[in-house]
Each structure stands twice: as structure tokens, then as C-alpha cells.
Structure 1
């Protein structure tokens, strides 16, 4: 649990100072996003999905329903927000609580999952952690995506940043829920896959396919060499 807590603290620091972590060169920013996208997609398919087999023994096919539910929830929420954000800044301001609340809950569960994976080995936990750290650092899932009035408030920004730490600290309580935690874990996997495929992979002319492939190859080799 010690390493999980250290990881959570590092992630909190990255989120709190996310607006200062910026690759100004557009070309290298595109390359960084593409490389990390390759890492995230590879991890989702080669490591996260296989993790569901253990839960499959308990929940059978229901586990896949929770994965779809997580994927669908993120998609529907995102579409709802985008449609309303187009209608004006006032509504965007009123929806900031939804976005920040989703951010808090997501990373709270991430903290608990870090502890759960640490029980299986630090390698598994680290392989899960690195893509999350990467896409937080490059600004895809970070506090920069929260309404500006939220991130300008230091207390609220701090509270959102430490959500993963809170998740680590209350992980024992969450893990005791058994099947409920397995269901939540599956939902997070679905959300993770959505972010990896829909929000993260650069589209159309954006990004650099060579660096995307480099990310895929790099993490494929890493998973192959480290995971038994």
C-alpha cells in the first residue's frame, strides 16, 4: 500500500500543477499525445481486459455488462455536456459541478484500484498507473478540463487533486464490498477504454501515427516482459 500511496501523491501533484505542465512546441505535444495514446490503448487491451477474467468467475457475463455500462455512462455524460455547453456560458457554469464531481469519483476509484492491484504485485499496479499518470500529465484527463472557476479555487483544486489519495486511504473499506467493488472496477475499465479510444487517440490530421505505433510497441514489450 505504501507504493500505491506514493503513486497517488505523485498523481495529485501532477493534477494540481497540470496547467503548468505544458509542451509548448505543437509538434512535440502532438507526438507526446500520440505516444501516450499508444500506451493507453495497448494497456487497455493487453492488461485491463484480461483483468476481468478474475471477476468473471464471480459475476459471469454480468461483468461485461458493467464494462459496457461504464463505457456508455462516460459517452452519454460527455454528449450531454457538449450539447449543453454549446448553448451558452451560463449553462456551462452550472454544469461545472457535474464535471468536477465525475473527476473526483473517477480518481477516488482509481486510488482503490491501485491498492487492489498492489495486492497482486507492484508490476501490475505500475502498469496500470503509468498510462493514468501520462494522460493526466499531457492534459487529457486533468484539472485543466474542469471549469476555469473551479480550478482557480485553490481549496477545490486541492480537494480534486487528492481524490486518488483518498481512494488509496479508504481502499480497505471499498475492497470489503466484494462484488460491488468488482462491478465498480469493471465500470472503470469501460470508462478507461472509452477515454483511450474516443477521447485520447488523436483524430484526423492531429497526432503522429509513428509515435502512436512507438507507444503501442513500447508498452506491448513492457507488458510481455514484465507480466507472467
Structure 2
């Protein structure tokens, strides 16, 4: 439990320090952010999604006994929902900024955006403590993938909300990830619920990476993204 707390604290520190990562603000997009995006995508496709299939296989025998359990398609539907929800939130933020040029995003939209990412961070913190039973190796892969993902998220949120994110937003997200870890210590949800949470996280990660990498104005670096994707994929394969 001490190790997972240190990892949760590490996540929080990333948000605390994000204000000072000014080297990421460059255009063309920092290669580090593109590498981070590749690492996050590799982790989702080669670790999170296969793990969801494993959850499904483990519950098949119970389903045959007539107990009410989720179907595999429902897990992937939850992943799709995570992607769709964060896409909708991003569109809301973009439209608010266009309606009020020079004034920044509407306050209500800002807090809705922060609330959604606070839940997202709390989920990451909760799944950290739930992953403790899988061993040090899996925890390390999870920590690295989510840590670099947080760096990328912070960059995108700062661009969207500017000064108010540094004053308030980063503290909300830092607190949320610790809160999620505490919830994980105090509460243990059913394994089927955890699988849905993992699925939702997977969809959210994919959308949040792609929204940073794909827009042409970001001038992202494909080769840096590919380096992160391939390099982390090799590490994941070697660890199995």
C-alpha cells in the first residue's frame, strides 16, 4: 500500500509542477508530448484492453451458472462511452472559447471540464490501489503510462484554460487523484465494476491522446509518437 501511495503522490506532484513545464509550450509540439502520447496508446491497446478480455473470460463460467454478469460487448461499449464523453467535453470547451474570443472559456464550462477530469483522475487513483494485487511490474507500467499521460493532459488543459488552470485547475486534479487512491483503500468494488472502470479509462485515454496529437495546428511529431508507441510496446512484450 505504501508503494501505491507513493505512485499516487507522484501523479499529484506532476499536476503541481505542471505550471513550471514551460518547455512543453513550444510549437511545433514538444517531442516529449508526442512520445508520451505513443506510450499511453501502447499501454491501452497492449495492456488495458487485453486485461478487459481477461476479466471477461474469468466471468464466463459464472455467467453459465445464471448469475447476472456483463457481456463482453458491454465492456467495449463502456470504452466507447468514455471516448464519446471526453470528445463532447472537448467540443464544449472549444465552442465556448470561440464564442468569447479573448475572454477565455466560460466559468461554468471550465468547472464542468475540471469536474470531469477530476473524476477521471480519481478513477486513475482508484485503479492504482486495485492494481496492487497484480504485482510491482504491472504497477510500474501503469504508473509510467499514466504519468506521461498526465503531463500531456496538463499541457492541453493549460492551453484551453490558461491562467485559471494554474490557479485552480491543477490543484483540483492533484487532490482528485489522491482522493481516488483513498477511496480505493477504503472501498473494494466488485471485479465486474472494476472492468467497466478500466474500459471507461481506456476510452478516455485514447480520446485525450488523439485530441492532442491529431490537430494540424499542434504540429505534432509523428516519429516521436511512433518511438513512444513502439518502444513501450516492446517493453510490454518483453515483460510478459
Aligned-partner Cα distance in 2 for 1:85–1:202: 19
Correspondence for 1:149: 164
Q: Contact 2:25 / 2:155 at 8 angstroms: preserved in 1?
A: no
Correspondence for 2:142: 128
Correspondence for 2:110: 96
Aligned length: 224
Instruction: Tell me if 1:195 matches 2:208.
Output: yes
Deviation at 1:54, TM superposition (A): 2.8
Deviation at 1:159, TM superposition (A): 4.0
Correspondence for 1:51: 51
Structure 2 segments unaligned to the other structure (5+ residues): 60-69
Correspondence for 2:63: none
The 3 A distance-change label for structure 1 pair 91 and 225 is: closer
Structure 1 segments unaligned to the other structure (5+ residues): none
Deviation at 1:135, TM superposition (A): 2.9
Aligned-partner Cα distance in 2 for 1:150–1:219: 30
Aligned-partner Cα distance in 2 for 1:78–1:12: 23
Aligned-partner Cα distance in 2 for 1:184–1:225: 27
Deviation at 1:24, TM superposition (A): 6.1
Instruction: Tell me if 1:180 matches 2:196.
Output: no
Aligned-partner Cα distance in 2 for 1:25–1:111: 27
Q: Contact 1:99 / 1:146 at 8 angstroms: preserved in 2?
A: no
Aligned-partner Cα distance in 2 for 1:158–1:39: 25
Q: Contact 1:93 / 1:147 at 8 angstroms: preserved in 2?
A: no
The 3 A distance-change label for structure 1 pair 76 and 223 is: same
Deviation at 1:143, TM superposition (A): 6.0
**RMSD between aligned residues:** 2.6
Aligned-partner Cα distance in 2 for 1:122–1:200: 30
Superposed, 1:1-228 pairs within 5 Å as: 1-23=1-23, 26=26, 30-57=30-57, 58=59, 59-60=70-71, 61-88=73-100, 89=103, 92-138=106-152, 140=154, 144=158, 146=161, 148-149=163-164, 151-153=166-168, 157-196=170-209, 198-204=210-216, 206-226=219-239, 228=240
The 3 A distance-change label for structure 1 pair 102 and 183 is: same
Aligned-partner Cα distance in 1 for 2:83–2:187: 21
Q: Contact 2:105 / 2:161 at 8 angstroms: preserved in 1?
A: no
Aligned-partner Cα distance in 1 for 2:92–2:28: 32
Aligned-partner Cα distance in 2 for 1:212–1:177: 36
Q: Contact 1:35 / 1:211 at 8 angstroms: preserved in 2?
A: yes
Aligned-partner Cα distance in 1 for 2:185–2:74: 24
